A = this chain, B = another copy of it.
Amino acid sequence: MKNTKESEPAHVIRQAGFRATTPRIAVFSYLKKTTYPVTIQEIVKGIRPLHINQTTAYRMLESFKKVGLVVQVDFQHGHAHYELAGGRHHHHVVCTSCDKVEDVIGCNDQQLADKALRQAPGFSAITSHSLEFFGVCKSCTLAA
């Protein structure tokens, strides 16, 4: 299984230091085409008919996360959501009624982090942050 086009999932996966296995290519490709952060369940179902074990998915996402290939986000739903990193850094607005998600960019994160660091005397560095917004989407507002 070899494929060297720069943008090919297999290539990206190898660049990240992993073997380009069928499950990894499928998961990576799936994440590439999703438009919002997905759960492990969605990933496993999303790559059908290919079937992979949930354990495999958990391990894969964890390792992808470790090398910065994916980002984990928390919508306070009791389970993790993942999305591909690499795109423009952004955050999300989540509908607390129907779980719809939209992206938000331009949050001036560096400035936020700097300000936070200045206020935290016991810290020497801030490496990341999570920022999610919760609200009600228009369809749910109408439905209420």
Contacts and interface: CB of A to CB of B under 8 A. Distances in A.
A4 to B, nearest CB: 35
Nearest to A139: B122
Given A76-B72, A76-B74, A106-B119, A113 B100 contact: no
Given A72-B76, A107-B115, A116-B93, A127 B122 contact: no
Given A74-B74, A103-B120, A123-B136, 19 more contacts: A74-B76, A74-B130, A93-B116, A93-B117, A95-B123, A102-B121, A103-B119, A104-B119, A122-B138, A122-B139, A123-B137, A123-B138, A124-B136, A125-B141, A128-B133, A129-B132, A129-B133, A130-B131, A131-B131
A116 B138 CA distance: 15
A112 interface: yes
Interface residues of A, number: 41
Copies of this chain in the oligomer: 2
A1 interface: no
A96 interface: yes
